[in-house]
Amino acid sequence: MNNKQIPVLKITAGLVACPACKKIGVTVKNVTVRHIVEKEQMERVGKGDYHLCMDPECDIAYYDEKGTIFDKRAIKVPLWFKKDASPKYACYCSRITENDVIKAVLEHGMQDMGTIRKFYDKDEKCQCKIKNPTGNCCTKAFNKAIRKGIESKNS
């Protein structure tokens, strides 16, 4: 019997805890991870999907069930939700930072993601699947940055 094959972690498939902080990360497709990790790390990616640690204090970015780990220094872009992210991107496809969004709100009165994206990037193309470290659309982080701008305007 091959004990190594017993899929202990499969019981919690999709709910795999970060090996460092033990918090449950979000699932990220292999294709996304391939595009986000540094070139010299590519070989280690393999074929499986990954999990992304969302804890702001934790240094781990991607990890999988087999023990493969990429910390935040092994990837090409800063993770906006980690505490020392610099710059803090609201949109990875167009490389628009949170500060850019706030500026558009404060100085140009813009309050809409589409308008702000066009303002900074005329040829904006959604490539979140390979540009955003989560593989999901930037909408949530972008709208949060817009709200931040609006709040600072009103205060």
The residue ranges that bind Zn ion (CB under 5 A) are 18, 20-21, 53, 55, 58, 60
How many CA within 13 A on the CB side of residue 1? 2
Residue whose CB is less far from Zn ion, 20 or 74: 20
Residue whose CB is less far from Zn ion, 12 or 127: 12
From the CB of 58, what's the least distance to Zn ion, in Å?
A: 3
Residues in the chain: 155
DSSP 94: T
- Rounded-to-integer distance, Cα 128 and Cα 87, Å: 17
Residue whose CB is less far from Zn ion, 82 or 117: 82
From the CB of 55, what's the least distance to Zn ion, in Å?
A: 5
**Residue (of 151, 36, 23, 14) closest to 92 by Cα position:** 36
From the CB of 135, what's the least distance to Zn ion, in Å?
A: 18
